[in-house]
Amino acid sequence: MSNRYAVILAAGQGTRMKSKLYKVLHPVCGKAMVQHVVDQISKLNIQKTVTVIGHGAEKVKLELGNKTDYALQDKQLGTAHAVIQTEEILRDKEGVTIIVCGDTPLIRAETMEALFSHHEKLAAKATILTAKIEDPTGYGRIIRNENGLVEKIVEHKDATDAERKINEINTGTYCFDNQALFSALKQVSNDNVQGEYYLPDVIEIIKKQGEVVTAYQTDSFEETLGVNDRVALAEAERIMRNRINQNHMRNGVTIIDPANTYIESDVQIGQDTVVFPGSMVKGKTVIGSDCQIGPNSEIDGCEIGDETVIRQSVAHKSSIGSHVNIGPFAHIRPDSNISDEVKIGNFVELKKTVFGKGSKASHLSYIGDAEVGSNVNLGCGSITVNYDGKNKFLTKIEDDVFVGCNSNLVAPVTVGKGSYIAAGSTITKDVPGEALSIARARQVNKENYVQKLNVKK
């Protein structure tokens, strides 16, 4: 096998997206398009990957980090001009260079590997990845001669009516003999409708040199979708979503309605977990086995144990144990750490809170900036009063505490182990362990008061 190199084209503005965000940074299933491409390329055996950046260069670099080298294209004069920017890094290399557009997020490593093999088997100088598609509008067309051999690529805008009828398209992915590529690039002109230096023109140039130019036609045309506008973006999202969901289902996850379940690319889910409709599972969430997620839940960046149930709820950047029951209608805000066997019931909000094993907040509570021990019962309407308008303070509730309904715990405050708080209390001072604390006005009953009122009338 020869040395392998990769170039990713990601310098364009993406005018057709009509967006402040640079095209290749638009996410598909939660991950930037260009990151999808880099992730797939990193599965291949590649010596060096160079990403061509221009518009939003710093942001693209921030997204991709040091997984690739970078070449800067100051002015976007076309895809051939973009590849020329990698000259300094790649010009002298011997081997095969794969070029992929940063706006084809669905391309898979397997397909690129097949392209490499085809290229090497035929000892070609250039091999185009092509696909036959129903509506080829906008794509470059593959022009073959009477013997069926590839002659050149014609861009949609430059094509004649007859050429536009051709439905075999250039997917924007190619393999080149590296040396042949860089010498051909020198001869590309910008004499076309768009006044750009087109990379596809090197095909005709290499062919005219009498070298072997081939095409590898993939039948998984979905992979080759080039995202140029938001309509294509939604299409890519739909295909990627399907692919992700099928992967989970093949690994033993039940998804009740895959068309209505939104799982981002980096999520992991254990066997026999069931995901109900309307659920979004995002970021680097890891869900254990035998869980029930949804319906209608949003989980972002959480780590969740086994046999946990989360119904109609929102959970962000938190850790949630096993045998936990959350919802319906709960909100777990970032930096919460929920232990095993906990119950967080309806209309309960947690924020930056450690919640110990077997503890419960079953109804209508706000628990923020708190450390709750194990086996604690927070009665309906328990509130941590954590904010004085300027600063946030900690509420500490030790093991085995029972907080009666509708209590305010004014932080900073500690409620000692095993103590009881009477319903309706506003606790402003620490409560010793094993105590009963009552902090509310004493009830006064005025007998026959109503009769007196009536007499006055």
Distance separating alpha carbons of residues 362 and 373, to the nearest angstrom: 16
Hey, which residues between 46 and 85 contact ligand UD1 (CB under 6 A)? 52, 73, 76-79, 81-82
Q: Which of 55, 156, 323, 363 is catalytic?
A: 363
Select the span of 127-135, 163-171, 299-307, 316-324 touching ligand UD1 (CB under 6 A): 163-171
Q: How far is the CB of 218 from Mg ion (least distance, A)?
A: 17
Does 76 interact with Mg ion (rule: CB under 5 A)? Answer: no
**Rule CB under 5 A: which of 180-239 touch Mg ion?**
226, 228
Question: 9, 344, 397, 401: which one contacts ligand UD1 (CB under 6 A)?
Answer: 9
Is residue 156 part of the annotated active site? The answer reads: no
Residue 397 contacts residue 376 (beta carbons within 8 Å): yes
SS3 99: strand
Indicate the DSSP class of residue 443: P
169/431 with CB nearer ligand UD1: 169
What is the CA 367 to chain-centroid distance, rounded? 29
Stretch in the footprint of ligand UD1 (CB under 6 A) among 3-11, 233-241, 439-447, 449-457: 3-11
CA angle 247, 248, 253 (to 5 degrees): 150
DSSP line for 273-314: -EE-TT-EEETT-EE-SS-EE-SS-EEES-EE-SS-EE-S-E
- The answer for 91, left when phi > 0, alpha when psi is -120 to 50, beta otherwise, is alpha
Six token digits for residue 292:
């029930």
Stretch that binds Mg ion, among 99-107, 177-185, 241-249, 265-273 (CB under 5 A): 99-107
CB of 69 to Mg ion, least distance (A): 22
Beta-strand relationship, 292-293 and 408-410: unpaired
Q: Which of 30, 102, 288, 327 binds ligand UD1 (CB under 6 A)?
A: 102
Burial zone of 4 (CB within 10 Å; 0-12 exposed, 13-18 middle, 19+ buried)? buried
Residue 33 binds which of ligand UD1, Mg ion, none (CB < 5-8 A, kind-dependent):
none
Interface residue with ligand UD1 among 90, 142, 169, 413 (CB under 6 A) is 169
Which sequence positions are flagged as catalytic? 363
Instruction: Using CB under 5 A, list all residues that contact Mg ion.
Output: 103, 226, 228
Instruction: Using CB under 6 A, list all residues that contact ligand UD1.
Output: 9-12, 23-24, 52, 73, 76-79, 81-82, 101-104, 139-140, 153, 155, 169-172, 198-200, 226, 228
